[in-house]
Amino acid sequence: MATIRVLIADDHPIMRDGLAALIESAADMTVVGQAVDGAEAIVRYRELRPDVTLIDLQMPGVDGLQAITSVKSEFPEARVVVLTSYPGDARVKEALSRGASAYLLKSAAREEILMAVRSVTGGKRVLASELAGDIASHAWSEMLSDREVSVLRLVAIGYTNKRIADVLCVSEDAVKARLKNIMAKLDALDRTHAVTLARNRGFLDS
């Protein structure tokens, strides 16, 4: 059986060391390289051409999503396993739409991570079991647009409608209209509730 060559990208040294030890403990896997952020992950992928890349989403500078997009655009055959602390159907859908083959939480059991690496090597897609219910519950929910997310980010830091309008160079009526759409899509009771729901689902950075 061919050895699965794995690249690890995470900005936390302890996490990288733990994953490296886990991968090396498997008889059919080996760690070929590590990266501390998305930018280095892209460079290391080009150099090493690993079979599978384990990547975190939240990293300084170039984040995991940007790295996935860059790697997949250059190497469509790349197999990427997202390993993150952040759940949320919007995050999962975004990662998968950019080309990730699997989405796991860092709380996953050691064997679950190893099985995901093996599965994506075989061309399968993997989703953490604890995320399935969340995805299903929002399967028919309409996603927020980029413009709506930009409004909600400013709401989250306490901006008034007028200030949001000034920052985005739109009218207050346009801001109010976007907020109305946001509340309807999220089924939110008010602005604060909308921000909370958006964070939980992964539309906003936590």
**CB atoms closer than 10 angstroms to residue 138:** 17
Count: domains in the chain: 2
Residue at 153 is within a domain: yes
Query: What percentage of the chain reaches a pLDDT higher than 90?
Result: 62
**What is the pLDDT, as a whole number, of residue 25?**
95
Q: Domain residues for 17? A: 4-137
- The answer to whether the CB of 79 falls within 8 A of the CB of 99 is no
CB within 8 A of 36, min separation 6: which ones? 9, 10, 11, 16, 59
Mean pLDDT of 28-40: 96
pLDDT in tens, 107-162: 889 999 999 999 999 999 888 776 665 664 554 567 888 899 899 999 999 999 99
* Angstrom distance (rounded) from CA 139 to CA 73: 27
3-state class of 88 per DSSP? coil
Mean pLDDT of 180-195: 88
Do 124 and 156 share a domain, yes or no? no
- Rounded to the nearest integer, the mean pLDDT of the chain is 89
Q: Using the 3D structure, point to which of 137, 169, 193 is the last residue of a domain.
A: 137
CB within 8 A of 155, min separation 6: which ones? 164, 179, 191, 194, 195
pLDDT in tens, 88-109: 777 888 888 899 999 998 988 9
**What is the pLDDT, as a whole number, of residue 137?**
54
Do 14 and 94 share a domain, yes or no? yes
Residue at 15 is within a domain: yes
